């Protein structure tokens, strides 16, 4: 999304596939990802805002390659839940997401 190279695990890769639902109007906590994360928007409208104010909009049918090591948060800007199919490839025992303190 920001033109960064993909960051793959160097040791013990683990593939994690999840479904995330985000309620209308909900804002996710500010976070970053230490490894590449991919998401497919199954339903809804999502805005992702990065530190510095850059915003990206995604809609049902869009594929997202998330930013690595960059603080951001998502907001459901639509009237229906956002449903994401999320794919993480991380090092075993390492988090896919780090929340801001």
Predicted TM-score (pTM) of this structure: 0.88
User: Does pLDDT of 76 surpass 70?
Assistant: yes
Cβ neighbour number for residue 31 with a 10 Å cutoff: 16
CA–CA separation, 36 and 29 (whole Å): 18
- What are the helix (H) ranges across the chain? none
* 37-43, strands of its sheet edge to edge: 13-22, 82-91, 37-43, 63-65
Closest-CA residue to 82 (of 27, 1, 35): 27
Helix and strand numbers (H, E) in the chain are 0, 9
Average pLDDT, rounded, for the chain: 93
**The pLDDT of residue 6:** 74
**The pLDDT of residue 15:** 94
CA–CA separation, 16 and 36 (whole Å): 12
**The pLDDT of residue 1:** 61
CA–CA separation, 1 and 30 (whole Å): 17
**The pLDDT of residue 3:** 67
Structure tokens at 60: 């049902």
């Amino acid at each position: 999304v920001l033109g960064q190279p993909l960051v793959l695990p160097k040791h013990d890769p683990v593939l994690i596939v999840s479904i995330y639902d985000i309620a209308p109007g909900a804002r996710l906590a500010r976070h970053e990802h230490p490894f590449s994360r991919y998401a497919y928007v199954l339903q809804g409208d999502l805005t992702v805002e990065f530190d510095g104010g850059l915003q990206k909009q995604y809609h049902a049918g869009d594929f997202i390659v998330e930013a690595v090591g960059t603080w951001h948060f998502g907001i459901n800007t639509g009237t229906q839940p956002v449903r994401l199919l999320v794919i993480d490839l991380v090092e075993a025992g390492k988090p896919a997401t780090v929340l801001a303190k």
